[in-house]
Amino acid sequence: MAGNSTAAGRSVTARALDLLGAFDAAHPEATLTELARRSGLPPATAHRLAGDLVAWGALDRDEDGRYRIGLRLWRTGLLAPVSDRLRETALPFMQDLYEATRENIHLAVLDGDRALYVEKLSGHRSVPVLSRVGAHLPLHATGVGKALLAWADEDFRRAYCDRPLSRQTPHTITERGRLLRELRTAVERGYASTSEEMSLGSCSVAVPVSTGSGPPAAALGIVVRTVRADLSRLVPALRSGAEGLGRRLAATEG
């Protein structure tokens, strides 16, 4: 499809990517009408491209006419380094943390201006959370997001705090000065935390995963119920896991 152009001046490839971009963790399936609306494509164009993508295996279409990501595209996505090397390397450390805490364990990376959740472990007693593997959540309202933001490049951090920030709960920190102070405190004490800022009834603690220089490669976090929260007791194990993961990633770079 590459190289072909539409009358509007956008390539067919770009429009096909718009159609695939209509899917996310909150919208894992959609009708053709929903795909056209979410992608901004005319219904006829969406219908034609969806047919091509189904034929290739990038999309599946069920008997009710709803579309979802196809197995061929899923297999291709697994080749991305964040799915392969990072998740595979991190899982043993995350499993150790889960065995020690029986709480939600999260691994996230910076993706644009949001936290992308690349792996998650939880159990029956873990507090319900909004995160899902492949989901994006705000940096300023999540533990792993704050860890990524606190240890990010200063220009990026200040630009992020200068923008209007979404309020997820009444406790979300959206004031620029207060958020910057919170991030400085996180760096000084070595970990970031939230208290009912993404969802009521839960709080979190997270640390950066460093490979030696530059911004963190990822952030590792734990989410617990507010009523039984003692975040300070979770920090040593969390820090140990992040340091071990960072060393392993640094040793396998390239």
pLDDT over 70 (residue 6): no
What is the pLDDT confidence band of residue 28, given thresholds at 50, 70 and 90?
confident
pLDDT digits (tens, 9 = 90+) for 75-87: 777 666 665 678 8
- Average confidence score pLDDT of the chain: 88
CATH number of the domain located at residue range(s) 12-76 in this protein:
1.10.10.10
pLDDT over 50 (residue 5): no
What is the pLDDT confidence band of residue 3, given thresholds at 50, 70 and 90?
very low
pTM score, whole prediction: 0.73
User: Which long-range CB contacts under 8 A does 52-59 form with residues at least 24 apart?
Assistant: 52/1, 52/16, 53/16, 53/19, 53/20, 58/20, 59/20
pLDDT digits (tens, 9 = 90+) for 153-177: 999 999 999 999 999 999 999 999 9
Q: Which fold has domain 82-251?
A: Beta-Lactamase (3.30.450)
When mean pLDDT is compared across 93-107, 111-125, 144-158, the lowest value belongs to 111-125
Of 28, 198, 25, the residue nearest 128 (C-alpha): 198
Task: State the pLDDT at residue 2.
Answer: 40
CA–chain centroid gap for 7, Å, is 35
- Where is pLDDT greater, at 79 or 31? 31
Mean pLDDT of 125-143: 83
Question: What are the boundaries of each domain within the chain?
Answer: 12-76, 82-251
pLDDT over 70 (residue 148): yes
Task: State the pLDDT at residue 4.
Answer: 39
State both tokens at 217: 């490669």
Q: How far apart are CA 176 and CA 166, in angstroms?
A: 12
- Among 59-68, 75-84, 221-230, the range with the most confident prediction by mean pLDDT is 59-68
